[in-house]
Amino acid sequence: MIVEDKNDGQTAEACCHSDSEEGARKSHHSDKMKQGLVSRLNRIEGQIRGIKGMIEKDTYCDDVLTQIAAAQSALGGVAKLLLEGHLKSCVIERIQAGEDEVVEELLYTINKLMK
């Protein structure tokens, strides 16, 4: 199944699968999707370094908090992309395969994201 992000036009195929040799679950995203996610994470990493620098320079608290909110929002955007791809591929595939426990797993993950 192919998933396209309406904001970036990024696509991902079948988000997750089990490695039959190891039994471990792994993600499978297109190279374009991985590049987009890594690019976003690199920008967030830069934001975090900037926040650290602001703290070291005794920047006014409200300005630092504004930057923290921006970094949290950006990280939330990455999570939304991953969650969308996961829902549209992995979760659907596992439910169709009769693996209903994926719903409890998903609810647990969403609860962690919403904290």
- pLDDT tens profile 2-11: 444 444 554 4
What is the CB-side half-sphere exposure of residue 30 using CA atoms within 13 A? 14
Mean predicted confidence (pLDDT) in 102-107? 95
Sequence-ordered alpha helix ranges (H) in the chain: 31-56, 61-85, 92-96, 101-114
Amino acid letter, 53 = G
Q: What is the per-residue pLDDT for 33? A: 84
Spatial contact of 84 and 78, defined as CB atoms under 8 Å apart: no
Is residue 29 pLDDT above 60, yes or no? yes
Question: Of 1.10.10.10, 3.90.1150.10, 3.40.50.12280, 1.20.58.1000, which CATH number belongs to 2-114?
Answer: 1.20.58.1000
Distance between terminal CA atoms of the chain?
Answer: 30
Confidence of residue 1 (pLDDT cuts 50, 70, 90): very low
CA-based max dimension of the chain = 55
Give 58-83 pLDDT, tens digit per residue: 999 999 999 999 999 999 999 999 99
Which has more confidence, 115 or 42?
42
Domain ranges of the chain: 2-114
pLDDT at residue 113 above 60?
yes
35 alpha-carbon distance from chain centroid: 13
